[in-house]
Structures are given as structure tokens and as C-alpha cells.
């Protein structure tokens, strides 16, 4: 096992104490680049979760009574500590997740930005007064914290998927329990250690590592938990939605996507290639907003394919800790198998490999950045999210045809298109059935804009002014006899 990194914690945080699992069991965490054991974290289950929920409920009262300005000050201290530990957090993230160090540093800044943003938004949970229909009455609306919150988060953004849930929960006056992904618990624990250092009282942010079914089972079953925010696969999202039905919890779900990326014939092709590189190959294609289907107009198809293939062939693959690396390993063997299956299916049905197409010579979890041409709607990549470094190029002839194809999916998270015609820009932006549309850009995420999907990509929005709404409830006061 490697020597522990700065900020690496091998205990979970429950009610202000760093604890092992009740039965002492642990979970191994591996470096996806080398397969080496990075460390172990507690394998907790339902019993620890029930105790964390009780602790959160105890912590709630004093926290909700604190003025929003004081809560904001604490969050700002946490924000500053996160930024001050950028290098340690980025290295820990690259070690457990695999992304290149430059991307990991970028994620630390992105994650911290949510804390800063919601520290501010927490001070602006304004109420309302309503003109009364009766003379002796005054009608008021308050926005109050919802209660004990829970977050179940994925491995692809080990810090940011946590702060975009935890920061609005805390800022609005709620405690929150986080169950991070099994592959990336160290980033979550490091974040909690910094929150503790910032002076956040016990029980407000708890991090439980361990068995997803047991922890998720208790978080959904327990009536004290009033809100669950989940980012992950649509299959698990559906399950958690069903499990939350008996106790009518408020849910935020940020699920799978199948993002179309459309290049119209009037696009700036170099800009479109640059956007496609960012959207498709960031984090080795492992983001829920990665371009999954690239549609190129038949008049510019060959030129775009040549330019994209050239850019992709220049990507430097390797261990994310090494300088200059642009694509790290995939998270695990199953992720590689999915990319391979999509390529085999497409090639079997007539697609051509322009670049890559196979596992990388580095072995392990490394895969070659790949571009496929002549991809059709009959192929699996048209329907399923690859979640890997595979760019499939579809050909289209008309706006109506490409819009119909782009919308022919049960998903509706991110979409992208490139055009310079202002009329077309409005028509297409309005016709795309997606929660987010990138127009002449491949990069849309930031803390100030509402991130989320429609259709089976989920419920709720994260970031922005909207991102705190899911953590508050509306209370109406009717004052009579005045």
C-alpha cells in the first residue's frame, strides 16, 4: 500500500467523530492507473446510517436557528480551506479517480465555487407578503430549511458532485449525510475534514463510506430524512425514487444522459472540433454531459472528421499524475468493456475506425481515444451512454432530421450544437428536448447556471439560484383578527 497522502482519512465521519465500521470491516480503494491499493475506508451499513440520521436531526435545530449570515461565514471559511488545499485535494483525486492532475485542479476550483456561491445564496432566501382578500388578514410566505438531507454521489467528479449538494443544504439551514461512491471516498472524507477544520459543528456534514444498498436503504427508508439528492445512473435513480415513495421524500435526481452534439454546415469547424474535444474527451469521456452522439452535416462531414481525428490522435494518454497527460485511465474494467462493446457493435454494423478503437498499450484501465465514422441510429452508441473516450460520427442532411434524431432518446440532460445562423440557433435551441443546450461551446457547467435534465435524466436543478430551492420548503402564514 502507498503511504497515505495529506488529507487522506481512513475513517468515516459520524456525529463529529472519525469512526471505523461497527464490525470493523473495510473497503479497498484502488488507483485506477496502477491497480495499486491506495487505502481502505470503513464498510458501514444500515446501523451506522441510522445513528448518523439521528445525529443529523439533533444538529438541525441549533443550525437552522443560526442567522444565515453566520452560516455563510462558516461556509466561506470552508471554501477558503478547500482552495488552500488545492494541490493535496487534486493529487488525492487523481490517485483515486484517474483524471489528469490539471483537470483535478480544475475540479477543486469548480467544487469550491459551489460553496462560495451557496454561502451567498443562503443569505437571500427571501419570503413574500401577499395582498390579502380579507381586510383583517396579513398573508406571509417563509422559506424554511427542509430538514435532514442525504446525498448519494458518483465517482466521476469526486468533489464537485458533493459540494453542489452539501453547500445549498447547509446554507439553507439543513444537515446532510453524504454517501460517496465506493471508488472515490477519500476525496469526500478530505472535504469533510476541511469542513471540520472550518468549524462546522458536529452532525451537520457526515460522510458514511460503505455498502451502497445498506446505506441507501436506510437513507430512503428512514422518515427523518426529508430530502435525497442523487447523482448517478438512471437505473439506481429509479430504484431510489421507488424506495423514497413510502416516506414521500423530496428528490433531486441527476441521472444519465445521451448528449447530442450537432455540427451544422455553417459552423465554424475549428471551434466545433475544439468544443467536441472538450465535451467528449474531458475526464476520458466519463461525464454525464459528455457528447455521446456527434451529428455532422453531410456537406462538412469529411472535413470535420479529418480535423477531429487529427486532434484526437494527438491526445496524450497516461497516468494523470504525469505532466502533459490529457487522458487518464478509465475508472475500472467494466468501463473498458462497455467502450469495447460499443465499438464492436458499431464496427460490426458498418462503422469505420478513424483513430484508436482498442485498449491502450499501457494496459490496465487505459483505452485509446477513439473516433468512429459512418455511425447510424441502428448502433448501440445511438441509444446508450458510452461513458468513455469514443466519439461516434453520424451524418445528417436536414435540420428536421437531426432534431428528430437528437430527441429520439429517453434522456434529456445536455445537448450541444454549432451554427452561426441566428434564426437557426433559436429554432434548434427551442426544439431540443434537453435541460441544457451548449451553443457554439462544448463546456456549459458552472456554479451560477442551473444544471439538470428533463425526461429520464432527472429532477431538480443544481447550482444557480434554483439550486437551493430543493433544500427549502414553503410555509404560508395566515394572520387573522388584526
CA distance 13 to 346: 46
The reply to whether 254 belongs to the active site is: yes
Binding residues for ligand ADP restricted to 154-173, rule: CB under 6 A: 154
Q: What CA dihedral angle connects 445, 293, 252 and 194, to 10 degrees?
A: -40
Cell of 245: 415513495
**Which one of 213, 238, 299, 475 is in contact with ligand ADP (CB under 6 A)?**
213
Cell of 39: 487505502
8-state DSSP, 363:
-
Which range, of 56-64, 147-155, 162-170, 302-310, touches ligand ADP by CB under 6 A?
147-155
Counted residue by residue, the chain has a size of 482
Binding residues for ligand ADP restricted to 370-429, rule: CB under 6 A: none
Residue 205 has φ and ψ, to the nearest 5°, of -125, 110
Nearest alpha-carbon partner for 13 in 49, 47, 59, 40: 49
Nearer to ligand ADP, 63 or 157 (CB): 157
> Under the criterion CB under 6 A, does residue 341 sit at the interface with ligand ADP?
no
Nearer to ligand ADP, 116 or 254 (CB): 254
**Residue nearest to ligand ADP as judged by C-beta position:** 216
> Under the criterion CB under 6 A, does residue 182 sit at the interface with ligand ADP?
yes
Which range, of 62-70, 101-109, 234-242, 375-383, touches ligand ADP by CB under 6 A?
234-242
Nearer to ligand ADP, 156 or 419 (CB): 156
CB 416 within 8 A of CB 293: no
**Which one of 45, 98, 147, 216 is in contact with ligand ADP (CB under 6 A)?**
216
Cell of 458: 432527472
Cell of 372: 468512429
**Which one of 32, 39, 232, 467 is in contact with ligand ADP (CB under 6 A)?**
232
> Under the criterion CB under 6 A, does residue 152 sit at the interface with ligand ADP?
yes
CB 151 within 8 A of CB 215: no
**Which one of 43, 236, 262, 402 is in contact with ligand ADP (CB under 6 A)?**
236
The catalytically annotated residue of 254, 447, 462, 469 is: 254
Nearer to ligand ADP, 27 or 449 (CB): 27
**Parallel, antiparallel, or unpaired: how do β-strands 414-418 and 26-30 relate?**
unpaired
> Under the criterion CB under 6 A, does residue 191 sit at the interface with ligand ADP?
no
CA distance 71 to 378: 53
The nearest distance, CB 29 to ligand ADP, in angstroms, is 13
The nearest distance, CB 331 to ligand ADP, in angstroms, is 8
CA distance 315 to 208: 37
Cell of 426: 433559436
The nearest distance, CB 180 to ligand ADP, in angstroms, is 6
Alpha-helix residue ranges (DSSP H) falling in 172-233? 185-197, 212-221
**Which one of 94, 97, 153, 456 is in contact with ligand ADP (CB under 6 A)?**
153
> Under the criterion CB under 6 A, does residue 212 sit at the interface with ligand ADP?
yes
The residues facing 150 across adjacent strands are 177, 228
CA distance 60 to 291: 41
CB 203 within 8 A of CB 55: yes
- Cell 451554427 belongs to residue: 419
Nearer to ligand ADP, 48 or 374 (CB): 48
The nearest distance, CB 387 to ligand ADP, in angstroms, is 7
**Which one of 181, 273, 381, 391 is in contact with ligand ADP (CB under 6 A)?**
181
Which range, of 50-58, 233-241, 293-301, 322-330, touches ligand ADP by CB under 6 A?
233-241
> Under the criterion CB under 6 A, does residue 239 sit at the interface with ligand ADP?
yes
The residues facing 179 across adjacent strands are 152
The nearest distance, CB 108 to ligand ADP, in angstroms, is 20
Alpha-helix residue ranges (DSSP H) falling in 285-416? 301-313, 333-348, 380-383, 399-407
The nearest distance, CB 409 to ligand ADP, in angstroms, is 18
The nearest distance, CB 346 to ligand ADP, in angstroms, is 21
The nearest distance, CB 258 to ligand ADP, in angstroms, is 15
**Widest pairwise Cα distance in the chain:** 80
Show the 3-state SS of 4-33.
CCCCCCCCEEECCEEECCCCCCEEEEECCC
> Under the criterion CB under 6 A, does residue 30 sit at the interface with ligand ADP?
no
Q: Residues with catalytic annotation? A: 254
Applying CB under 6 A, which residues contact ligand ADP?
Answer: 152-154, 179, 181-182, 212-213, 216, 232-233, 236, 239-240
Amino acid at each position: 500500500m502507498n503511504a497515505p497522502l495529506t488529507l487522506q482519512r481512513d475513517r468515516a465521519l459520524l456525529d463529529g467523530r472519525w469512526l471505523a465500521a461497527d464490525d470493523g470491516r473495510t473497503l479497498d480503494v484502488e488507483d485506477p492507473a496502477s491497480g495499486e491499493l491506495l487505502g481502505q475506508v470503513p464498510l458501514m451499513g444500515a446501523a451506522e446510517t441510522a445513528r448518523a440520521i439521528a445525529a443529523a436531526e439533533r444538529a438541525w435545530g441549533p443550525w437552522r436557528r443560526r442567522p444565515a449570515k453566520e452560516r455563510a461565514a462558516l461556509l466561506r471559511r470552508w471554501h477558503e480551506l478547500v482552495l488552500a488545499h488545492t494541490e493535496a485535494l487534486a493529487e488525492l483525486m487523481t490517485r483515486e479517480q484517474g483524471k489528469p492532475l490539471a483537470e483535478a485542479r480544475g475540479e477543486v476550483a469548480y467544487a469550491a465555487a459551489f460553496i462560495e456561491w451557496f454561502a451567498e445564496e443562503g443569505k437571500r432566501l427571501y419570503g413574500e407578503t401577499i395582498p390579502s382578500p380579507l381586510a383583517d388578514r396579513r398573508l406571509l410566505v417563509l422559506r424554511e430549511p427542509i430538514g435532514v438531507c442525504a446525498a448519494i454521489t458518483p465517482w466521476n467528479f469526486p468533489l464537485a458532485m458533493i459540494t453542489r449538494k452539501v453547500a445549498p443544504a447547509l446554507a439553507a439551514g439543513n444537515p446532510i449525510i453524504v454517501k460517496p461512491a465506493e471508488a472515490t471516498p477519500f476525496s469526500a472524507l478530505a472535504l469533510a475534514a476541511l469542513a471540520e477544520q472550518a468549524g462546522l459543528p458536529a452532525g451537520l456534514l457526515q460522510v458514511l463510506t460503505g455498502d451502497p444498498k445498506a446505506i441507501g436503504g436506510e437513507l430512503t427508508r428512514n422518515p427523518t430524512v426529508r430530502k435525497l439528492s442523487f447523482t448517478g445512473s438512471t437505473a439506481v435513480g429509479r430504484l431510489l425514487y421507488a424506495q423514497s415513495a413510502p416516506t414521500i421524500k423530496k428528490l433531486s435526481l441527476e441521472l444519465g444522459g445521451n448528449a447530442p452534439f450537432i455540427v451544422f454546415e455553417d459552423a465554424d469547424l475549428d471551434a466545433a472540433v475544439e468544443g467536441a474535444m472538450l465535451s467528449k474527451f474531458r475526464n476520458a469521456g466519463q461525464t454525464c454531459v459528455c457528447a455521446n452522439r456527434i451529428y455532422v452535416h453531410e456537406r462538412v462531414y469529411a472535413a470535420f472528421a479529418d480535423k477531429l481525428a487529427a486532434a484526437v490522435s494527438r491526445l496524450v494518454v497516461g497516468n494523470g499524475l504525469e505532466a502533459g497527460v490529457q487522458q487518464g485511465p478509465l475508472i475500472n474494467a467494466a468501463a473498458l468493456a462497455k467502450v469495447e462493446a460499443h465499438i464492436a457493435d458499431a464496427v460490426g454494423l458498418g462503422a469505420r475506425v478513424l483513430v484508436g478503437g482498442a485498449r491502450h498499450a499501457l494496459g490496465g484501465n487505459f483505452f485509446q481515444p477513439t473516433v468512429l465514422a459512418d455511425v447510424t441510429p441502428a448502433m448501440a452508441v445511438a441509444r446508450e451512454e458510452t461513458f468513455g473516450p469514443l466519439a461516434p460520427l453520424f451524418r445528417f442532411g436536414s435540420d428536421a432530421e437531426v432534431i428528430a434524431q437528437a430527441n429520439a432518446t429517453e434522456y434529456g440532460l445536455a445537448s450541444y450544437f454549432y451554427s452561426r445562423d441566428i434564426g437557426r440557433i433559436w429554432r434548434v435551441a427551442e426544439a431540443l428536448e434537453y435541460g441544457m443546450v451548449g451553443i457554439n461551446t462544448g463546456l456549459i457547467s458552472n456554479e451560477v447556471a442551473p444544471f439538470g435534465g428533463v425526461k429520464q435524466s432527472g429532477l431538480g436543478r443544481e447550482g444557480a439560484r434554483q439550486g437551493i430551492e430543493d433544500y427549502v420548503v414553503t410555509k404560508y402564514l395566515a394572520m387573522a383578527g388584526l
